[in-house]
Amino acid sequence: MESFRLIKKSPRVGVLKTKRGAVKTPFFMPVGTIGAVKTIKPSELKEIGTQIILANTYHLHLRPKEKFIKQKFGTLHNFMKWEGPILTDSGGYQVFSLAEKSKKGKSLVKIKENGVEFRSHIDGSKHFFTPESVIQMQLDLGSDIIMPLDVCPPANSSKKGLMNAVDLTIKWAKLARIYFDRKTKKRGNKKPLLFGIIQGGTDKKLREYCAKEIIKLDFDGYAIGGLAVGEEKRDLWKVLSWMDKIISQDKPRYLMGVGTPNDIIKATQLGMDMFDCVLPTRTARHGVAFVKKNRGYEEIDFRKSKLKNDKKPIDLRCQCPVSQEGFSRAYVHHLVKIDEILGIRLLTLHNLYTYLDLMKKLRAEY
């Protein structure tokens, strides 16, 4: 049975079927890295229109551990009281994010032919991830969409570095596919979806080569990785244009880790269906809100003193709980200035609603 149905091709609107229900595309996934979207309850996520969330396998493996979640609660959904679908990232991004960090002079990550050795950023303990073990971790978590282990190279990688990342990503995708099929062959329609990840930096030939090899493995969907690692925005759009021509129309396209509301609008125009990003929650923790402006969005910094006497809501055109309950910019500014956690909560609710409402409007507009 096909998991994805494309309703409209240009621009794209569709439905992605998971074992925990259908999700309308295009959609945005709030990031709950360690099993929680920062400061927001799962019930609140549902109230503001969240269809699906993202969690991270690497962080959950460090604590509380996927085996604990499986043995004590059955699934991550039960553990965190979220009833909808969950996509779990593989830990491949941590290959990039931890690569240049060190603890007591020791590297936190070593990429090997058969997997990745991590040193925990918490206590320095060693953990070895293989393509197979990462799939098993996500099966133990009860994930609805599983991502294979990949190598996410930084934007300034050499041609050789990009080639090595592509070759390992393809090799590991094949091993992940074999392991996943063996472990889920008896589940029928109750098995999770497995996506492939396409790497290659901003090199056209490498991107196309990686895409063609990953597509041969017939995944349920395809993710474009390695595009939130410092590249120029114009290069991002070029890569998406290439991928739009290569990935089949009847497969969902997932742009990993991007970006602002304006970025998402542009990316949907270039054929992308799925998005995640820490920006709505991270900017909220820094006192910043995304607000509608003309046909796009701008940022308002609530640390600025010019908002001290502003009685308007965060966004005059917003229907989020924060604006609807009448909280003024002046009050939010006050909360942010005194480091009151309620300020972070209010801005996080607003920013997430803004992203989710944007996706709803894009589905309706398209």
Q: Which domains does the chain have, with CATH numbers?
A: 4-277 (3.20.20.105), 292-353 (no CATH)
Question: Is the distance from CB of 24 to CB of 47 less than 8 angstroms?
Answer: no
- Quote the strand ranges of 101-219, DSSP E: 102-103, 106-107, 109-112, 115-119, 126-129, 145-146, 193-198
66-93 confidence digits (pLDDT tens) = 999 999 999 999 999 999 999 999 988 8
* Beta carbons within 8 Å of 74's beta carbon, 6+ residues apart: 142
Residues in contact with 357: Cβ distance below 8 Å, sequence separation at least 6, in sequence order: 49, 318, 319, 320
Q: pLDDT per residue over 222-233, tens digit each?
A: 999 999 888 999
Spatial CA neighbour of 97 closest among 33, 164, 54? 33
CA atoms of 200 and 224, how far apart (whole Å)? 9
Is-cis flag, bond preceding 153, omega within 30? no
Q: What is residue 92's predicted lDDT score, i.e. its pLDDT?
A: 81
Q: What is the pLDDT of residues 240-250, one digit of tens each?
A: 999 999 999 99
Dihedral in degrees, nearest 10, Cα atoms 29, 152, 259, 139: 0
Contact 145, 191 (CB under 8 A): no
Q: State yes or no: pLDDT of 102 exceeds 90.
A: no
Assign residue 359 a region (left: φ > 0; alpha: ψ between -120 and 50; beta: otherwise): alpha
pLDDT in tens, 140-168: 999 999 999 999 998 899 999 999 999 99
DSSP 32: -
Report the pLDDT value the prediction gives residue 10, as an integer from 0 to 100.
83
Query: Could you give the 3-state DSSP secondary structure of residue 196?
Result: strand
H helices of 84-151, in order, are 92-97, 131-141
Distances in whole angstroms, Cα of residue 12 to Cα of each of 57, 151, 262: 29, 28, 17
Give the phi and the psi of residue 305 in degrees, each rounded to 5. -65, -20
Q: Which amino acid is at 41?
A: K
Q: Are 132 and 141 in contact (CB under 8 A)?
A: no
Residues serving a catalytic function are 89, 276
Q: With 0.95 as the threshold, say if the pTM is over it.
A: yes
Mean pLDDT on 104-131: 88
| Helices 204-215 + 159-184 axis angle, to 10 | 10
